[in-house]
Structure 1
């Protein structure tokens, strides 16, 4: 397996217009927030880029040291470290003017090497599953209520008027269309 020993070019993100988030998969749909929040996003992207460049520089220097012993002059690792420090210093300055709170669970998940996007996806899927389960329960209770009302009307015809009123009241609250059935005996002249 051959390894390319030439130094890689520093990572630079593709140019992004001012109305697009630089790392958004849906660039046209998610512009960066205005003001300080957008500046923070851009600074965090710069930090990520600087960390990536530092990592590739260190790996590249380690592979060169295997081939050429000695000679510390000209290594760009110090420059890359200074870039990271500058980004961190800028973030520290920005932090005094921010009041956004990050939930502790998010930080714990990131420290545990869990992808926040995957956690968000899992939580949304769990909420959707629980929603479907709850909708199933509601549907089961509604169908049971309808069966119970029918049985009560059949066995206690005098309750029919009250049960019909409660069914209409429940249907209007739930947003269901109200179905009114006409009795053939109620039509004039059997029409």
Structure 2
């Protein structure tokens, strides 16, 4: 594994209203914590790149040195994440990545899937109760029929 890029100052934005945990929480330890730190660093580097591009586009042409430095910082984070990928066993379903690429919030996806699972669970519970009720009625009818004929 290649050496990790030097840590850049991380400007932590306020947490999203639907964030699963606050931005001030301590990341997990081990490779998962390193991954989270690098992802935060990458997000920060991408933000810095975006603001630098906007700022540089309002200035005189040919002053893009800062943009190049910001791009190199993003590339260093991406290379570090690529190196880290071989040490991770967590798999992310392709559908989640596709939905994120299409601009859907993962928290909304999770909420939708949980609501769907709860709805299906209620539907199945209704079926089970109907079958149990039918079985009870059938048992009573069989007992009544067989005891009358004896």
TM-score (norm 1): 0.59
Q: Which of 17, 26, 38 matches 1:43?
A: 38
Unaligned runs of 5+ in 2: 1-8
Q: Which runs of 5+ in 1 are unaligned?
A: 1-9, 15-22, 160-191
Once the two structures are superposed, residues 68-107 of structure 1 have per-residue CA deviations (whole angstroms, 9 ceiling, x without a partner) of: xx36448632332222122112212222333433333333
2:110 aligned with 1:111, yes or no? no
SS in 1 for 2:28: coil
Query: Compared with structure 1, are the counterparts of its residues 147 and 31 closer, same or farther at alpha carbon in structure 2 (3 Å cutoff)?
Result: farther
Greater Cα radius of gyration, structure 1 or 2: 1
Work out the CA distance in 1 between the residues paired with 2:26 and 2:141: 58
Residue 85 of structure 2 corresponds to residue 95 of structure 1: yes
The structure with higher relative contact order (CA 8 Å, sep 6+) is 2
1:46-57 aligned within 5 A: 46-57=41-52
Matches for 1:63-78 after TM superposition, within 5 Å: 64-65=58-59, 70=60, 72-73=62-63, 76-78=66-68
2:57 matched to 1:58? no
1:32 counterpart (27, 31, 34): 27
CA gap of 1:143–1:125, structure 2 versus 1, over 3 A, is: same
Distance of aligned partners of 1:102 and 1:146 in 2 relative to their CA distance in 1, 3 Å threshold: same
User: Cα deviations across residues 98-149 of structure 1 (Å, max 9, x unaligned)?
Assistant: 3433333333333333332222222111111111000000011111112222
Mapping for residues 1-191 of structure 1, pairs under 5 Å = 12-13=11-12, 25-27=20-22, 32-62=27-57, 64-65=58-59, 70=60, 72-73=62-63, 76-157=66-147
The count of residues paired between Structure 1 and Structure 2 equals 137
Q: Is the 8 A contact 2:52 2:66 kept in 1?
A: yes
